[in-house]
Structure 1
Amino acid sequence: MKDVAVASNELASPVQATGEKSKVGVKPIIQVVAGNGLEIYDFMIYGYYARYIAQTYFPSHNQYVSLMMSLMTFAFGFLARPIGAIVIGSYTDRHGRRKGLILALSLMSLGIIAVACTPSYASIGMAAPIIVLCGRLLQGFSAGAELGGVVVYLAEIAPPKKRAFYTCWQAGSQQISVMAASLAGFLLLYWLAPDEVRAWGWRIPLMLGCAVIPVMFWLRSSLAETSVFARKKKTPTVSEICTNLVAGWRTIVLGMGMAAMATVTSQTITTYAPTFISSLKLGDSAGFVILFFGGLSVLLWLPIMATVADRVNRRTMLIAVTLLAGVTAYPMLSWLAAEPTVLKFAVVELWFSFIYASYSSVQVAALVELVPPDARTSGYAFAQAVAAAVLGGFTPAILTWLTHAFHSSAMVGVWLAINAGISLVAALALDKKGTAARQAAGLH
């Protein structure tokens, strides 16, 4: 790969070569993050209703086995992300950020429709779980480049001293999705009887996601290309992109480590949370209310902590937040597991919402600054996708297994602490790459 300082320097001038300051409105941010929000909304709905999806598509006499099959299907969608990061990411680096985002949205839409509209196992037999698995794989394939494509687009339109603030809205759109999914879940419980939700009601939020797909295409159809890509006189070939990724494997590994805590914490406080609160027997409706305010908490903290991240040393902030997460994870979950209450669950949810917002706001900007422009989408997306596939996607299944095997909900804290440790090591390794590169590029 090119020198990291060069990569960061090129990223530092996302507007015209005349040296004028960029004036980026709200519109392009909304256009680019809206599709990402839809992607995450569907992921959340699948996680929220994993128990009902398990009964519909993966019936078993053993409820634990049925749930694990549903969660593993959820995880397999994440396994397709690295492939999508390379394939669609390379397409994006060759043909433009806008075209790549529209392609990702198209594939994502097909996956969402497949999961929402597939008949039950009782109706079509083994075809049902196979179609759902294929839908999840297609969604994962598109998400591999969608998330990275959104971040890269935001980074390339952002003024250099506001890069963390701009890129934080990728995670911000996810929180709006969390809130929307939580609200939909709460309203379902209010309007429908539990048996109706279990039988067919869980499909309603998925259908709502399908209904807004045309709006997503309308928003992205008028999305402007970034000036960073538009200024390129030559775009890299697929072979050159792959060569850059292989040559820059150290940067990719570093990025994977940086992404570990963000993806695992996000999956824990969102996708796994309904299953977790159900296992604690605290009530589904209370869980959806807490998840709504957890998403709102992240949405409020993200721009605040991103503003801080744009003013302080990236590495220092990453180290501080990972240490804070690692030290508090197990004690907080032990406290909750000892005597579960709705109030305790809310405290834990809000605490790790703050941790996630604080970390994600700086981690996304720090990682995108490491990747050179010729392979920026594929490089960033691949690092994020592998971390999501290996750690984040399997988090609900891992946590379900840990609590079942050790008969303790406190094991959730162990998994959070382990991944905080992985990201701490990555943050410590940023000394020469991240900090030096940003200083050389004038990105103090």
Structure 2
Amino acid sequence: MNPTEPIAATSGVSRSTRAAAVLRVTSGNFLEQFDFFLFGFYATFISKIFFPSTSEFASLMLTFAVFGAGFLMRPLGAIFLGAYIDKVGRRTGLIVTLSIMASGTVLIACVPGYASIGLLAPALVLLGRLLQGFSAGAELGGVSVYLAEMATPGNKGFYTSWQSASQQVAIVMAAAIGYGLNQWLSAQQIGAWGWRVPFFIGCAIVPFLFMLRRSLQETAAFEARQHHPQAREIFSMLLANWRTVIGGMLLTAMTTTTFYLITVYTPTFGRSVLKLSTADSLMVTLLVAVSNFVWLPIGGAVSDRIGRKPLLLAISVLAIFTAYPALSWLADAPSFARMLIVLLWFSFFFGMYNGAMVAALTEVMPVEVRVAGFSLAFSLATAVFGGFTPAVSTYLIQVTHDKAAPGYWLSFAALCGLCATLGLYRRRASSSASAASSA
């Protein structure tokens, strides 16, 4: 891995408008997570509308497979849209990713059910998920790099943490809408048409999000670069730095797995596995999102003070040794209180780790392919680990008959994060030493 240039600490955005710039750039993240959470939360209803089967398990697995299929498009989006953003600029690229994301959201909200149009219904839902996945492949990287490039000196971790923090606002809003619908509508009404209401709300806020994105300024760090590589150059550099990309994927495995376990999968886990009420599952999810929102900037700020590596290692070790025991304790006597305690513990993992990880990933990527490299690493982790966490968890519980089995998957992801942290920072130290000796 070649030594990377430091990310510029200045930006075209004035200090007095930095908070507004953070809001504008993270607006697309809000839409992405709002819709992704809704798909996971209403998975049981979506499975009956679009994937009818005589087996509830089969229908649910098909739904989660389509949910996961969107994540398989992320690496393609990371490569092609990420290269586009590295070439034309952060502002223009992020408007394009929002456009594609919005198209997928509108499609999923409006598709008639299987009973009306047959196999075309699940095919169109799949297309919507593929569009969302393609867009999301570069969205996270573009937003994270923008925040890193506009950060003030010594606060990069704090600034980049707002990429994920914006997603928690989306989850709180989606969970609150779901809770309200659960109070106002019957289960039959929600299953028939009520589940579409939050998706239509997501469609309604798209124009507002476009307005925010269009007012973004380009980062000074990008404008200051003398050379903006063409797509072929970017692809070549990604190939030359494949070890860094794979290391970044493993580093991100911990955060993507934890996130999708405690947000997207939680409502289904609470209802279908633990047999808790829908209201309890929604309330836990809402409180977990609030907890994430609190811990993320704390994790970023702590990593600014003590360094990324110590925090990443400490949280990885905690997760490896406590994930399964915590879920076993919950499965032994399921209750709202126990579920809340366990998922708040996992929320602490996610917030502290991710707060350090996002900044770390922007720092290890070569500057010329910062968006494409970050996006590809994150997308591969989401495709291989996070995106399929609901499906893997459902499968593990089915074959082991152990309700705590998702803990094995989370511990494995944490082990990947631990190994990646050690490997990436060893390579970075070695590269820095080589550069210093040759200077």
Q: TM-score, normalised by structure 1?
A: 0.95
Pairing partner for 1:209 from 202, 227, 235: 202
1:251-273 deviations in whole A, cap 9, x for unaligned? Answer: 10110010000000000000000
Q: Sequence identity of aligned pairs in percent? A: 44
Pairing partner for 1:123 from 116, 122, 125: 116
Q: Which residue does the alignment assign to 2:29?
A: 36
Q: Which residue does the alignment assign to 2:223?
A: 230
How many pairs are equivalent?
434
Q: Which amino acid aligns with 2:160?
A: T
Distance 2:29 2:223 in 1: 23
Q: Which amino acid aligns with 1:154?
A: L
- Alignment pair present for 1:420 and 2:407: no
Report matched runs for 1:2-401 at 5 Å.
Answer: 3-4=2-3, 6-7=4-5, 9=6, 11-15=7-11, 25-278=18-271, 279-401=273-395
Residue 261 of structure 1 contacts residue 420 of structure 1 at CA under 8 Å; is this kept in 2? Answer: yes
Residue 24 of structure 1 contacts residue 157 of structure 1 at CA under 8 Å; is this kept in 2? Answer: no
Look up the SS of the partner of 1:408 in the other structure: coil
Q: Which runs of 4+ in 1 moved over 2 A?
A: 12-16, 21-24, 430-441
Distance 2:206 2:140 in 1: 17
1:157-177 deviations in whole A, cap 9, x for unaligned? Answer: 012310000000011011111
Distance 1:44 1:170 in 2: 16
Q: Which amino acid aligns with 2:64?
A: L
Q: Which amino acid aligns with 1:172?
A: A
Unaligned runs of 5+ in 1: none
Residue 112 of structure 1 contacts residue 135 of structure 1 at CA under 8 Å; is this kept in 2? Answer: yes
Q: How much has 1:231 moved relative to structure 2?
A: 1.1
Residue 295 of structure 2 contacts residue 351 of structure 2 at CA under 8 Å; is this kept in 1? Answer: yes
Residue 299 of structure 2 contacts residue 354 of structure 2 at CA under 8 Å; is this kept in 1? Answer: no
1:20-79 deviations in whole A, cap 9, x for unaligned? Answer: x96662011000001111111000000000010000000011111001000000000000
Distance 1:418 1:69 in 2: 24
Look up the SS of the partner of 1:429 in the other structure: helix
Unaligned runs of 5+ in 2: none
Q: Which amino acid aligns with 2:168?
A: Q
Residue 370 of structure 1 contacts residue 433 of structure 1 at CA under 8 Å; is this kept in 2? Answer: no
Distance 1:67 1:432 in 2: 42
Q: How much has 1:404 moved relative to structure 2?
A: 1.0
Q: How much has 1:372 moved relative to structure 2?
A: 1.7
1:404-423 deviations in whole A, cap 9, x for unaligned? Answer: 11111110111110110110
Q: How much has 1:13 moved relative to structure 2?
A: 3.9
Distance 1:331 1:42 in 2: 31
User: What is the alpha-carbon root mean square deviation over aligned residues?
Assistant: 1.8
Q: Which amino acid aligns with 1:137?
A: L
Q: TM-score, normalised by structure 2?
A: 0.96
Distance 1:247 1:436 in 2: 17
